[in-house]
Amino acid sequence: MPFFQKKNILISSNKGVQEVLDAVNDYLPSPLDKENKGVDTANDDDEVSLSNDSSKPLIGYGFKIQDHPQAGVLTYMRIYQGIIYVKYLIFLLLI
């Protein structure tokens, strides 16, 4: 493996926002291209396939918590399935 590898780097100011968004669409995979799997803890840790269907129950992963001075506590989430609304109450489940 060579020491130097070619990497795509995006640098933008306020004038190049559309080009950056176009590059994100071109280089990053669509969520539809990848199959996400989860674990059903109620069923002997069986592996289940998750779909990006908004009519199914909410399944997500909170990966960062930030204490913001104006907004309060913010949680950044990756939603795998379902839908989340403004002021939606979510219970934390730790396994």
Tell me whether residue 6 is in a domain: no
Length of the chain: 95
How would residue 17 be classed by pLDDT, with cut points 50, 70 and 90?
confident
Interval 8-24 mean pLDDT: 72
Q: Examine residue 9 and state whether it is found in any structural domain, yes or no.
A: no
On whether residue 53 sits in a domain, the answer given is yes
Instruction: Give the pLDDT band (50/70/90) at residue 92.
Output: low
- Is residue 37 one of the residues assigned to a domain? yes
The rounded mean pLDDT for the chain is 79
Kindly report, residue by residue over 19-55, the tens digit of the pLDDT: 778 888 888 888 778 888 888 877 887 888 888 888 9
User: Which domain, by its residues, includes 29?
Assistant: 14-81
> What pLDDT score was predicted for residue 70?
92
Residue 40's DSSP bridge partners are 46
Q: Round to whole Å and give the CA distance between 49 and 52.
A: 10
Residue in the structure block whose two tokens are 């069986």: 46
Cβ partners under 8 Å of residue 58, min gap 6: 79, 81, 82, 83, 84, 90
Is the residue at 44 inside a domain? yes
Domain count, the chain: 1
